[in-house]
Chains A and B, each alone.
Chain A
Amino acid sequence: MTAETTELTRPEPAANATPVLEVRGLRKEFPGTLALDDVGLEVRKGEIHALLGENGAGKSTLIKCVCGAYAATSGEVRIEGRPVSFSTPREAVDAGIAVVHQHFNLVPTLNVAENLWLGEALPRRMGLVDWPRAHARAREILDYVGLDVPTDADVTALRADHLAMISIAKAVASDAKIIILDEPTTALLPHEVETLFAQMRRLAQEGHSFLYVSHRLAEVFEIADRATVLRDGRNAGTFERETMDRASVIEAIVGRRGELSGRKSGSHMRESVVIETAGLSGGGAEDVSLTLRHGEILGVAGLPGSGAEDVLSLLFGRIRRRAGTVRKGELELRLREPSEAIAAGIAYVPADRLAEAVFHAESIRSNITMPSLARYLRDPILRLVNRGAESRESRQVAQRMRVRMPGIEAAIDDLSGGNQQKVVLGRWLSTGAEVFLLNAPTAAVDVGAKAEIYELIEELAGEGAGILFASTELEEYPLICDRVLVFFRGRVAGELKGDAVTEQNIMTLAAGGELAHGDD
Chain B
Amino acid sequence: MATTETGGAETAFDWFGFLARWGTLISLVLLIAFFSLARPEVFPTLRNTLNILNQVSILGIIALGLTVCLVVGLFDLSIGAMATFGGYFAARFLAELGMDSAWVVLGAVLAVLILAMLIGMINGALVSYLGISAIVETLAMSFVVTGVILGVSGARTVYSSDIPESFQIIGQGAILGIPNPILIMIATALVLWVFLEHTQPGRNMYAIGGNREAARLSGINFQKFALIAMAISAACAALGGLVAAANLASGRPQGVGETYLLNAFVAVFIGASTLRPGKFHVFGTAVGVLLIGVINNGLSVMGVATYWQYIVQGLILILALISASMNSVRRA
Contact = CB atoms under 8 A, between A and B. Distances in A.
Contact of B207 (A77, A370, A385): A370
B203 A71 contact: no
Instruction: Give the secondary structure class of A's interface.
Output: mixed
A72 B198 contact: no
A373 B203 contact: yes
B128 to A, nearest CB: 13
Interface string A384-409: 11010000000000000000000000
A338 B200 contact: no
B206 interface: yes
A169 interface: no
B45 interface: no
Interface string B1-18: 111110000011010010
B200 A385 contact: yes
Interface in A212-268: none
A373 B3 contact: no
Interface string B29-45: 00000000000000000
Interface residues of A, number: 52
A356 B213 CA distance: 5
B274 to A, nearest CB: 13
Nearest to B213: A356
Contact of B214 (A75, A342, A359, A374): A359
Contacts of B213: 355-356
B207 A356 contact: no
Interface string A339-368: 101110000101000011111111000100
A495 B83 CA distance: 64
A413 B331 contact: yes
Interface residues of B, number: 35
A29 B12 contact: yes
Given A74-B4, A85-B1, A374 B200 contact: yes
A75 B215 contact: no
A83 B5 CA distance: 13
Interface stretch (B92-100, B103-111, B217-225, B292-300): B217-225
Nearest to B12: A73
A338 B217 contact: yes
Contacts of A413: 331
B279 interface: yes
A377 interface: yes
A97 to B, nearest CB: 13
B208 to A, nearest CB: 9
B204 to A, nearest CB: 7
B206 A362 contact: yes
B200 A373 contact: yes
Interface in A451-497: none
A29 B11 contact: yes
Given A318-B217, A359-B214, A366-B203, A384 B2 contact: no
Most buried by A among B207, B215, B279: B207
B216 interface: yes
Most buried by B among A75, A86, A359, A371: A359
A31 B14 contact: yes
B173 interface: no
Contacts of B1: 65, 68, 71-72, 75-77, 84-87
Interface string B177-216: 0000000000000000010001111011011001101111
Interface of B: 1-5, 11-12, 14, 17, 194, 198-201, 203-204, 206-207, 210-211, 213-221, 276-279, 331-332
Interface of A: 25, 29-31, 65, 68-69, 71-77, 83-87, 105, 316, 318, 337-339, 341-343, 348, 350, 355-362, 366, 370-371, 373-374, 377, 382-385, 387, 413-414, 427
14 contacts: A29-B11, A68-B1, A72-B2, A73-B2, A105-B332, A316-B217, A350-B217, A357-B214, A358-B214, A362-B210, A366-B207, A370-B215, A373-B203, A384-B199
Given A31-B14, A77-B1, A414-B331, 15 more contacts: A29-B14, A73-B12, A75-B2, A75-B3, A76-B5, A338-B217, A339-B219, A359-B211, A361-B210, A362-B206, A373-B203, A377-B200, A383-B201, A384-B198, A427-B218
